[in-house]
Structure 1
Amino acid sequence: MTIRVAAFGLPTAAALVLGAIVCLQLPALPGGWILAMTLCVAAWIWARGVGGGRVVGAFVLGGALCGLHATYALSTQLPADMERGDFAVHGRVVGLPTREPQRTAFEFRVAEDDGVPAALRGRLLRLSWYDDRREGPDARRAAIEAGNEWRFTVRLRAPRGLRNPGWFDGERRAMAQRVTAVGYIRTAEPLERLEGGRGIDRWREQVATHIDAVVERGSARYVRALAIGDTRGLNDLDWEALRATGLTHLVAISGFHVGMVGGFFALVATAVWWCLPWLGRWLPRPQAAAIVALLTSTVYAAVAGWELPTVRTVLMIAVVVIARLSRRHLRIADALGYAAIAVVLVDPMSVLSAGFWLSFAGVAWLVWCLPDAREWSKLRGLLASQWVATIGLLPLTVILFGQASLAGPVANLVAIPWWSLVVVPLALVGTGLEAIHTGAGDWAWRSAAWAFDLSWLLFDRLAASPISLWWLPEPHWLALPMALLAAFWMLLPRGVPGKGLALLLWLPLLWPDRHLPRAGEAEVIVFDVGQGLSALVRTARHAVLYDAGPAVPDGYDAGERVVVPALQALGVRRLDAIVISHGDADHVGGFAAVQRRYRAPVVFAPQWDRVPGAAPCLQGSAWRMDGVTFRFLHPDVHFPAFRNPSSCVLRIETAHGAALLPGDIDAVVERLLVRRDATRLDADVVVAAHHGSRSSSDPAFVRATGAAVVMMSAGHGSRFGHPHDEVVERWMRSGTAVASTAGGGATRFRLQAGGLAVRQERTHRPRLWDAARRLETREAR
């Protein structure tokens, strides 16, 4: 007996999505012609097959289609021979520019004509315009507005992100968004503004500016987010508070907001048709309401910037409209499946985004668990939906973000009715009135801000609670299906036996193995922070951080963006000590961000550097944790304040080997250490002093260490030339293997009974979009 499977339904939608996922897990893709042939065969099987064959066809088609999209996206990225080159381009600013005190960041679509290099025509660039500090702040960069056309010279490189334990992957995002290159404007070259701003993005930017002007409250940035999907004003602390209270989905414009707009105008259309019954002769009232809902929701999705949750809602509304026009009954589950198929067919790489999973999974859980919710009371329905969303989406939020909001269910019980019925409608009314006449929506935006502030007092206190946000380590990949099975089991109807046993299936996700060293062993993890240094030393029950990475004022902060997320992903619950090698920004810059999240009981730094609350790291000082000795070799109490040369030199001694962290000392200090006691320098692992600078790694020091591996912590294509070729050659001649964060990402060194174990993120977890591997392949050819 053959099971009938519809060509477009939930089974084929799930197969299509799964095929795209499997494709993106491959370390490399087959040739384009193979993918194209596979796509044609799979499409025929999907269309003509029956039963399981149709599902298999959808699965293969999803993988082949995603492979073709990924192949094209990677082929459009900047060729290796154009890296760090300067190019004259002209085109249009797309999206909303982000303005910071020292730079303006924006996306730029290059024009398609003969005046620009062929590899850049029609491509999307992610650019920055920095202030020229020699001339003071450059006011011209303020003229970068959405929709502007410009001609200027840019210095470009291929999209390349940092690779660390954690959840953010910049290279993946660049591939998903089809970004060809990133770079900055060469302000020394001629610049010309060709045309003023126009289009929907220009209107959005004007509305955002107007909201800031008329809403004289700190919550104006939240009103902007709710009114037009502009989240540029929300900083890291704002997002942390929203994540802690589980309210992120309500601030960023979601499918709910789009559905609210569509539903409101559907009611308006129904009222108009009721007042003017002769319109029914031209178009029946149900079909008219459906068409109006689709048109208005599409317009609002454009105003919100076409974020994925809004696209999903528009597609679902479109499916319902088509069903209404064809007078066919359509279940919500079918509409969800059709929308998923449409999204994957249009852009299969959308499965890389968290929004895809949270939006579709959230609706799917509610549809499956609450089919008869219309018959319930409003309070019972709210409680039931909150329970379903909390349990059903918990596995995804942990896998995607490494966190769970313990305060989220409580906060949502208040926020969902108050924001959904008061704050959001007022913000949307303001946007609608502003579209009709400038200034007409001012009162609505002010009212939305007032209503938001009224509720935010509660949520701010919840976010500040130490138990509001639960950060979880990275689990094994099997933890996700086990947790999904547990959620399914717990959400089954009453009377299903064994629900208590389902709690055991949560353990691999909520209590994963952190792979800690054993007593007497140590692990040194050098994070990929770009041009700077940060390393974590773990023992069986303790953790010490050496340096906190770079940071610039009001800009990139490796402590916030890299170190803290990596510590959370590794399951570090506390830091027992922090060592700041010296006061340079590329070592101490992220210290404040780390201290905000992990307030260590003791901080060490050179006595001349003004690190808040720090004790001096003096030669001879030592302490012992879990059978591992931490010992400072430099500076002594009489060493002068020479900045780099006065760096704290830390040696980690275990029963199975040693590691040496010398900060930014120079060759003079290295020779001093050799003369003082060369035996103290013996180490299996050495982090090269001063990022592999030519002024460090003295030959006598290199010989004294006898290192098996030396680590170069430096940025890719460092403008300082780190690590220097001569230094790399010197270490290699001594028989030492050379590794770098620029090439391999974060690197783990385990000093253990079985010998030294080394693992780098880029080689341990290869990805299709790995820029380092792609550039090496191109250069080899």
Structure 2
Amino acid sequence: MLQFRRPGWQKHKVAAEGKGLAPAIAAVWGSLWSIAEIDSRPLLLGFSLCGGVIVYFSLSNEPLIWPCLLATIGAGFFYVATRWIWWMSVISLPALVLLGLIGGFTAATIRTASVEAPVISSEMRPLMLEGWVREVETGAKGNRLRIEVHALSGVSAEETPKYVRVTHRLDLQVAPGRFVRCFVLLRPPPSPSLPGDYDFRRQAWFEQLGGVGYVMGRCRGGALGAPDSRVKQMGLDVAAFRRRLAEHVNEAAGARAGGFAAALISGDRSFMKIEDQEALRASGLSHLLAISGLHMAMVGGLVFLLVRRVLAFIEPLALRIAVQKPAAIAALTASFVYLVISGASVSTQRAFIMSAVVFGAVLADRAALSLRSYAIAMILVVLLQPESVMTPGFQMSFAASGALIATYDAWSRRRAEQERILGSVSFSWASLFVTSLVAGAATAPFAIYHFDRLAGFGLLANLLAMPIISFVSAPLAALALILTPFGLGDTGLRLFGLSLEAVLAVAHWCSSLPNAAYTLPRTMPAVTLVLSSCAIASAMAARGSARVLLSVLLIIPAAVLWARSHDVVVHWAPSGDVFLRNKDGKVVRFEMVDGDGLSPLRYSTAETEVPCDAPACTYPVTGSGITEGTATLYKGRDDSEPAIDLHLDEHHLRLNWDDVVTTGGITIKSGRDGPKRLNAPICGRRPWRACN
């Protein structure tokens, strides 16, 4: 007979020690009940909140706030009842999941309404823009400036966007924090041209980015000065300080890796070369560019260690107080400062919250629970920025960190056995291999879904680069910090830059190997990503053999659905680029028309084929269920319009450039009953996709 008193999972452990189906079921049930233990409830709540946010963004209509708030309050009372009334305790776990789902849904609804800001409804004629430069990023066509708008010529204050992003193609002579005047051409944030691709328009809504465009000429400094709000002025001061810090690090660390060093220290990537960024992505080392747990550990951990060691040498002080507490306060302060100057991205927020929980446990004389700190970080990030759940950065960051924490938690319990298995291999070197393997496996589903590729030599690149980062770059970064008060910080930064040059050499070598950035022949459907995410979450929350059993039960249907999904045969983006799936199953790019929109993020690494100079060029295409297919590209000359003729078995389709411009992109997918034509949604009933 089943008993539901805690700890329930231990009572099923004896039943699971046997052979056959019944012990296996008992093991799974015992592991599932272990999730209901008090230590795992925050983790389950965090996953449920993410599920509620995903449900919210999957809707076609915008829900009302008040019903969501009432439902959340009701779910909260219901969960409390299950915790206090003994006969309801059996359903406390489903009640917690229900509370998380409704809470995440409500948090996303409130967040959408709270960030509402004016958005440009249509392309505007060239006009004068005045505002303050917030950020500068490197782009393929020039620097991209994020400007806090003060005024737009001919636009009323009620219709003026709060922020805009414009591409500056000439040499930039202004920096963040400066008031500028620019002659710009603006249009609404573009929508995704490929169904299921990254929705920049939705992200722009939550960033209060009301328009995008480019500068006609050059932005020039103005004389208006500081804004009237003290909060805005503080934001501009931080942006200006970040820029000055990045400029100094870029110069001091050396020409080769100065931009890389600036990105690691300040979060400003504008000094990095495009080829270096591509090499890091293709080699599987792009996680180094995201200010995350590694960088926060370097800052907080090193400050904690240094302060604790220094205070320990002061004998009268060390005999009277616990020196680890002042060290924890100093480390927490340094981590917060680093959070601010690095731009406070989602991965940095997660790392800071986890660091705060760890150092807070030191202050409270309690042991820091890794999975609990991970869960707290997830809950806070989801409640503060629900939209981040839909971004690749959030998904890959939390998947990697959670998988690593769960792996090392299990490894620590069997440390002695692992050391016997590893033999003469030290724990430090073995941990580098395990870290690279586990992090790569955890982030692989998200990399495949969002970017349609895998880093073929990611494990090798991480095995070669991470020892440099851990044993050379981190100590040199600490050395630069220590030498700065003595006027020798540039020497430390130069040594830091030399170590990063070695990392870049590894990235370029691994990215140059054959099939370094491997493109999978079939696009992953969203349901496969959801099931894979559930498998990773189950592996974190479950215990014992159920980790594997639950993961396999979810991975198998995910793989089957992926294998039965349809391929994208042709995609024509509003940027003018045509993407064809060739006879080898690989998506290639053709520069068909000089358009003015976005290419899909999923095909950002597709190889560009040599353009055909003939009026019409025919290429073989393929897809699931297609035995013979060709695509004839007509570039359009004289009075003719650019078009594509598709012959897929007995089916014939014609695509016109005017239709691409009107619909925002055309996609042809293979199907059992013939090819299917999909148009990008132009508008809808969500605030970021409103019909004008």
2:401 maps to 363
**Counterpart contact for 1:42–1:57, Cα < 8 Å:** yes
Query: Aligned-pair distance for 1:293?
Result: 1.1
Residue type of the alignment partner of 1:177: E
What residue number does 1:697 align with? none
What residue in structure 2 maps to residue 515 of structure 1?
A: 566
Q: Deviations over 1:717-770 (max 9, x none)?
A: xxxxxxxxxxxxxxxxxxxxxxx332xx333277x996774322438x989566
Q: Which amino acid in the other structure matches residue 307 of structure 2?
A: A
Structure 2 partner of 1:663:
none
Cα-to-partner distance string for 1:661-710 (whole Å, 9 max, x where unaligned): xxxxxxxxxxxxxxxxxxxxxxxx3x34xx44xxxxxxxxxxxxxxxxxx
What is aligned with 1:548? Answer: 591
Specify which of 29, 40, 47 is matched with residue 62 of structure 2: 29
1:528-585 Cα offsets, whole Å, 9 max, x none, are 233x36364878x789979524569xxx997xx54980796xxxxxxxxxxxxxxxxx
In the alignment, what sits opposite 1:62?
104
Cα distance change of structure 1 residues 546 and 419 upon mapping to structure 2, 3 Å threshold: closer
For 2:574, give the aligned amino acid.
V
* Alpha-carbon contact 1:474-1:512 (below 8 Å) kept: no
1:304 is displaced (CA, Å) by 1.6
Whether the 8 Å contact between 1:270 and 1:286 is mirrored in structure 2 is yes
1:416, distance to aligned residue in structure 2 (A): 1.2
Quickly say closer, same or farther: Cα 1:427–1:546, change in 2 above 3 A.
closer
Pick aligned residue for 1:380 from 430, 438, 445: 430
1:760 aligns with 2:679: yes
Moved more, 220-229 or 621-630: 621-630
Worse-matched range after superposition: 317-326 or 153-162: 153-162
CA contact (8 A) 1:265 1:296 kept: yes
Structure 2 CA distance for partners of 1:387 and 1:502, relative to 1, 3 Å: farther
Structure 2 equivalent of residue 84 of structure 1: 124
Question: Could you say which residue in structure 1 is the equivalent of 2:512?
Answer: 464
Q: Percent identity?
A: 22
1:482 deviation in Å? 4.9
The amino acid across from 1:168 in the alignment is: Y
Is it true that 1:309 corresponds to 2:347 in the alignment? yes
Aligned mate of 1:713, from 647, 652, 660: 660
Task: Work out whether 1:528 is the aligned partner of 2:573.
Answer: yes
* Paired position in structure 1 for 2:17: none
Cα pair 1:77 1:158 within 8 Å, conserved: no
Unaligned regions of 5+ residues in structure 2, if any? 7-35, 84-91, 227-232, 420-426
Matched residue, 2:49: 16
1:27, distance to aligned residue in structure 2 (A): 1.9
**1:98 to 2:149 alignment:** no
8 A Cα contact 2:569 2:621, kept in partner: no
Match of 1:733 in 2: none
2:608 corresponding residue in structure 1: 594
Q: Answer 1 or 2: which has greater helix percent.
A: 2
Bigger RCO of structures 1 and 2 (CA < 8 A, at least 6 apart): 2
Q: How is 1:338-353 mapped onto 2 (pairs within 5 angstroms)? A: 338-353=376-391
- From 243, 253, 259, give the equivalent of 2:291: 253
Cα deviation 1:361-392 (Å, max 9, x = unaligned): 22222222222656452233333333332333
Cα drift, residue 19 of structure 1: 1.5
Matched, 1:658 2:658: no
Q: Is the 8 A contact 1:227 1:428 kept in 2?
A: no
Q: Partner letter of residue 78 of structure 1?
A: V
TM-score by length of 1: 0.68
Q: 1:323-472 residue pairs with structure 2 within 5 A?
A: 323-371=361-409, 373=411, 375=415, 377-427=427-477, 429-430=479-480, 436=485, 440-472=488-520
Give, in angstroms, the shift of residue 189 of structure 1. Answer: 11
Q: Which amino acid aligns with 2:451?
A: F
Q: Select 1:741's aligned residue among 663, 685, 691.
A: 663
Give the Cα separation in 2 of the matches to 1:76 and 1:193.
26
SS in 2 for 1:515: coil
Work out whether residues 663 and 681 of structure 2, in 8 Å CA contact, stay in contact via their aligned partners in 1.
Answer: no
Whether the 8 Å contact between 2:165 and 2:213 is mirrored in structure 1 is yes
Cα 1:108–1:656 change in 2 (3 A) is same
Does residue 124 of structure 1 match 2:163?
yes
CA contact under 8 A between 1:16 and 1:61: conserved in structure 2?
yes
* Pairwise CA distance, 1:288: 1.3
Q: How far is the alpha carbon of 1:410 from its aligned partner?
A: 1.7
Aligned length: 624
The SS at the match of 1:146 is: coil
Q: What are the Cα deviations for residues 14-34 of structure 1, in whole angstroms up to 9, with x where unaligned?
A: 222222222122222212333
CA 286–90 in structure 1, closer or farther in 2 if over 3 Å, else same: same
- Report the 3-state secondary structure (helix = DSSP H, G, I; strand = E; otherwise coil) of the residue aligned with 2:144: strand
Mapped contact 1:526–1:534 kept (Cα < 8 A)? yes
Secondary structure of 2:526's match?
A: coil
- State the match for 2:261 in structure 1: 223
The answer (yes or no) to whether the contact 2:667–2:678 under 8 Å persists in 1 is yes
- Aligned-partner Cα distance in 2 for 1:346–1:420: 32
Q: Which residue of 1 aligns with 2:201?
A: 171
Instruction: Give 1:315 deviation, angstroms.
Output: 0.8
- Quote how far apart the aligned CAs of 1:231 are: 1.9
| Counterparts of 1:535 and 1:78, CA distance in 2 | 30
The answer to whether the 8 Å contact 1:38/1:60 transfers is: yes
Q: Is the 8 A contact 1:89 1:151 kept in 2?
A: yes
Kept after mapping to 2: 8 A contact 1:36/1:64: yes
Amino acid at match of 1:209: E
5+ long unaligned stretches in structure 1? 132-138, 517-522, 569-592, 607-615, 636-641, 660-684, 693-711, 715-739
SS in 2 for 1:193: coil
Task: Flag the 1:624–1:454 CA change in 2: closer, same or farther, 3 A.
Answer: closer
Report what 2:11 is aligned to: none
Contact 1:13 1:340 in 2 (8 A): yes
* AA matched with 1:106: L
Distance change in 2, residues 1:127/1:42 (3 Å): farther
Is 1:273 aligned with 2:324? no
Match of 1:476 among 509, 512, 525: 525
1:225 Cα deviation from its structure 2 partner: 2.0
Q: Is the 8 A contact 1:537 1:543 kept in 2?
A: yes
Once residues 43 and 634 of structure 2 are traced to their aligned partners in structure 1, the CA distance between those partners, rounded to angstroms, is 65
Shift of 1:462: 1.9
Displacement, 1:101? 9.5
SS of the counterpart of 2:146?
Answer: strand
The structure-2 alpha-carbon separation of the partners of 1:493 and 1:528, relative to structure 1 and needing over 3 Å to count, comes to same
Q: How does 1:158-237 map to 2 (within 5 A)?
A: 158-164=188-194, 167-184=197-214, 192-195=222-225, 199-237=237-275
The CA deviation at 1:44 is 4.8
User: 2:666 corresponds to which letter in structure 1?
Assistant: A
Quick one: which amino acid aligns to residue 381 of structure 1? S
CA contact (8 A) 2:190 2:200 kept: yes
Q: Does the 8 Å contact 2:284/2:455 carry over to 1?
A: yes
- C-alpha contact (below 8 Å) 2:451/2:602 kept by paired residues: no
Distance 2:473 2:578 in 1: 43
Q: Residues 510 and 266 (structure 1 numbering): CA distance in 2 closer, same or farther, change over 3 Å?
A: farther
Please report the RMSD computed on the Cα atoms of aligned residues, expressed in angstroms. 4.6
Deviation at 1:346, TM superposition (A): 1.8
Alignment of 1:569-608 (within 5 A): 594-595=608-609, 604-606=612-614
